[in-house]
A and B are shown apart, each in its own frame.
Chain A
Amino acid sequence: NAGVTQTPKFQVLKTGQSMTLQCAQDMNHNSMYWYRQDPGMGLRLIYYSASEGTTDKGEVPNGYNVSRLNKREFSLRLESAAPSQTSVYFCASSELGQIKNQPQHFGDGTRLSIL
């Protein structure tokens, strides 16, 4: 079982460059999430999608955009990367009917460095 797959696993960008982080899940989950993890700060929610066709802002949405392409895929875009966006990014998913907004399955992360 692949679960939640994130690509790429590592990326180095220059300030001002743009890129899209990809996430796909094969568990037929309705809800998907993007988090960033920074040392000493736990996980912070960037955006989430409760179901296909809907997206909502989380705690730290500034500088990011998302697209829920279909039920399987949820991408995160940095339009103009800044050093403050250096972080590890995690995608997660959960089933409808479980506790709302509780991520259940995580990808292995994308380690993003912005110079």
Chain B
Amino acid sequence: AQSVTQLGSHVSVSEGALVLLRCNYSSSVPPYLFWYVQYPNQGLQLLLKYTSAATLVKGINGFEAEFKKSETSFHLTKPSAHMSDAAEYFCAVTLSGGYQKVTFGTGTKLQVIP
């Protein structure tokens, strides 16, 4: 079985500051990992995904995430927060190979302070 834990249900950053959203995973086999973003009253959008190629994955809107096997982490970062980044972010995991469902974390709401 696989799972993800998102540390911090709410994160606040100042506009222009570094964004760091934390995600740790648990998986019995090499995982595939994802970050999704949800804006108010909308569905989720895929930001980026890790599928065992490069460990540093770049996504849309300037976000990136680094897969660290030794730390079982897949934290999401952005060098400089913008007001439009205010949203809820979900980390998700599935197992590589086979036919496994995607498991979502509980989400982190990002507030950007002007």
Contact = CB atoms under 8 A, between A and B. Distances in A.
10 contacts: A42-B106, A43-B104, A59-B101, A92-B43, A100-B98, A100-B99, A101-B100, A102-B34, A102-B102, A107-B43
A103 interface: yes
B102 A101 contact: yes
A22 to B, nearest CB: 15
Interface string B38-51: 00011111100101
A78 interface: no
Range for the number of chain A residues in contact with chain B = 20 to 34
B90 A43 contact: yes
Contacts, number: 57
A101 B94 contact: yes
Range for the number of chain B residues in contact with chain A = 20 to 34
Nearest to A107: B43
B90 A42 contact: yes
B84 to A, nearest CB: 18
